[in-house]
Amino acid sequence: MSLIKSISGIRGTIGGKTGDNLTPLDTVKFASAYGTWLKRKLSKEQVKVVIGRDARISGQMVSALVSSTLQGVGIDIIDLGLSTTPTVEMMVPYLEADGGIILTASHNPKQWNALKLLNSKGEFISGKDGEELLEIAENEDFDYVEVDRLGTYIQDNTAIDYHIGEILKLPLVDAEAVKKAGFRVVLDAVNSTGGISVPPLLKKLGVEVVEMYCEPNGNFPHNPEPLEVNLGDIMKKVPEEKADFGIVVDPDVDRLALISEDGSMFGEEYTLVAVADYVLSQTPSATVSNLSSSRALSDISRQYGQKYEASAVGEVNVVTKMKETAAKIGGEGNGGIIYPELHYGRDSLVGIALFLTHLAKKGITCKQLRETYPSYFMGKKKIDLKPEIDTDQILRKLTEKYSGETITTIDGLKIDFPSTWVHLRKSNTEPIIRIYTEAPTQQEADQLADRFIEEIKNLA
C-alpha cells in the first residue's frame, strides 16, 4: 500500500511488494543502513542499540528482523520488548547505548509499522544524520560481520518500571497530593502498550483505574489516533463510571488526550496548555510548540510573563527550539508533552503525572479547569493540485499578498491575524497544500480554511 522514507525513519504497510511496502526485505535494508551509519559515525567496533516496540500485530516480526540484522552488522542489542516510545528514549542514555530504534507507527492503523531512529541521547536523529542514513540505504552494498563478531542479544524487562520510578522522583510530581485527591479515571489504551505502562503509574499515584482496551494484543478497537471522532466509547464511559476524567493514549504512548467528567473532550490541544500552566506556575521559562499548535499556549505563557516560540512541525524541531530557549515545557498540539526535566521526547506518562498533580492542587474538576483557558477551534483541510502546479510559487505569492500581517516561513507559510491564524504546508510527496486554521469559533476556523482554498485555486 505505501512505504514512506524520511529523515526520521521508514514507515509503511505490512505485506505487498518490496520497495512499495514495509516488507521484510525493506526492514532488513533500513536496519542495515542504520547500523552501518551508526558504526561509521562512532568509529568504534563495540556498538550497543536499544530496541522496543508497541503492541501492533506485526511488531514481533519486525522486531526480530531488526534485531537480527543489527547483530549481523556487529551491533549488540538490548531488547525491551513491549514498551513505549518515551521509555525507549529514556533507556538509551540510562543503559549507555549508542542509539535506539522504536518499532511503532504511532497513531497509524494496525496495518502500518515503522522504524523510528534515536541517537545516543535517546532523541530523534537530526535532519543531517537522517539524510546520511537515507543515502546509505539507497546506495550501499552492505558488508556484514563474520560469525565471531556477531552482535550479542539480551532482553530487559525493567524499562517501564524505571521510567515510572523516574517520573515519581520529579519535584513537580506530588504523589501525596494526587493520592489525597482520590481520583477515579477511565483509561483507553487502544490495546497497546499504554495498557502495561499507564495503569502501574496511576496505581503508584493512588488513582483508581477503570481499564478499557488495555490488553496489548495490537487489535485496535477503533482508529488509534486520539481524536474526538474516534473516542465515542470512552466519552460515554467516563460519565457512566462517575469518573473524574478519562485518559487516552495512542499505541506508543507519546500522545495524550483527556476527557472531562461530563464526557466532553478536554481537547488534545489543551493537554499541553494545562501541563504548561502548572509547570510555568512552579518554574517560569519560555515555552515552545510547533506552528500548527494552538495559540492558547502563547496566551498562557504571556499570563506568566514568559516568551512563547514556535518551531517548524516535527518533534526534532520542537526539541531544538526548546534547547535554544531553555524552555522547561513544550511539545506539540496533538497531545505531545515534552518535559526536559525527565527527557527530551513526547511522553504521555509524565504528562499524566503532571496533569494529575495540577488538578489535585487546583481542587477543581477537569471541566472547570478547561474553562479557565481561552477557547480556540481548529480547522484542518487540504487542497489537491495538478502535478505541474508550482506550490512554492503559490506560497510566495501569498507571502507577498499578506506581508502586512505577521508572517512565518520556516515551515510553509503561517499568517497570524489578530484573532485567527492560517498555516499552509505543502506535501513533500504529493501536489497537496495542507491548510490548518484556528479561530474563536469552529465556523470561523472552517471559513478561514475555505477562504484560503479559494485563494490557492485562483493562484494555481
Q: Provide the pLDDT for residue 5.
A: 81
Which is the catalytic residue, given 63, 83, 106, 192?
106
| Helix (H) or strand (E) run with residue 317 in it | helix 315-325
Q: Could you tell me the three cell numbers for 434?
A: 495542507
pLDDT digits (tens, 9 = 90+) for 159-182: 999 999 999 999 999 999 999 999
Residue 4: pLDDT band with limits 50, 70, 90: confident
Residue 139: pLDDT band with limits 50, 70, 90: confident
Average pLDDT value for the chain? 95
Map out the domains of the chain with their CATH numbers.
3-157 (3.40.120.10), 163-371 (3.40.120.10), 377-459 (3.30.310.50)
Q: Could you tell me the three cell numbers for 288?
A: 515552545
Q: Is the pLDDT assigned to residue 1 strictly greater than 60?
A: no
| Helix (H) or strand (E) run with residue 308 in it | strand 308-311
Q: Provide the pLDDT for residue 438.
A: 97
pLDDT digits (tens, 9 = 90+) for 265-313: 998 899 999 999 999 999 999 999 999 999 999 999 999 999 999 999 9
Residue 45: pLDDT band with limits 50, 70, 90: confident
By the 8 A CB rule, do 233 and 208 touch?
A: no
Q: How far apart (Å, rounded) are the C-alpha atoms in residues 286 and 245?
A: 29
Closest by CA to 297, choosing from 336, 324, 263, 259, is 336
Output the pTM of the full model. Answer: 0.95
By the 8 A CB rule, do 433 and 425 touch?
A: yes
Residue range 245-255: average pLDDT? 97
Number of C-beta neighbours around residue 139 at 10 A: 8
Bigger pLDDT: 238 vs 43: 238
Catalytic status, residue 281 = no
By the 8 A CB rule, do 251 and 107 touch?
A: yes
The residue behind cell 535554544 is 324
Burial of 6 (0-12, 13-18, 19+ CB in 10 A): middle
Angle, CA of 367, 169 and 49, to the nearest 5°: 105
Extended strands (E) in 245-299: 245-249, 256-260, 287-290
Q: Is the pLDDT assigned to residue 67 strictly greater than 90?
A: yes
Q: Could you tell me the three cell numbers for 61?
A: 516480526
By the 8 A CB rule, do 355 and 274 touch?
A: yes
Q: Is 456 left (phi over 0), alpha (psi -120 to 50) or beta?
A: alpha
86-95, 190-199, 379-388: the lowest-pLDDT one: 379-388
Extended strands (E) in 64-222: 75-82, 99-103, 112-118, 153-155, 184-188, 208-212
pLDDT digits (tens, 9 = 90+) for 423-441: 999 987 678 899 999 999 9
Q: Provide the pLDDT for residue 429.
A: 67
pLDDT digits (tens, 9 = 90+) for 85-115: 999 999 999 999 999 999 999 999 999 999 9
Number of C-beta neighbours around residue 312 at 10 A: 17
Q: Is the pLDDT assigned to residue 314 strictly greater than 70?
A: yes
Closest by CA to 198, choosing from 145, 254, 237, 262, is 254
Q: Provide the pLDDT for residue 210.
A: 98
Q: How far apart (Å, rounded) are the C-alpha atoms in residues 145 and 294?
A: 50
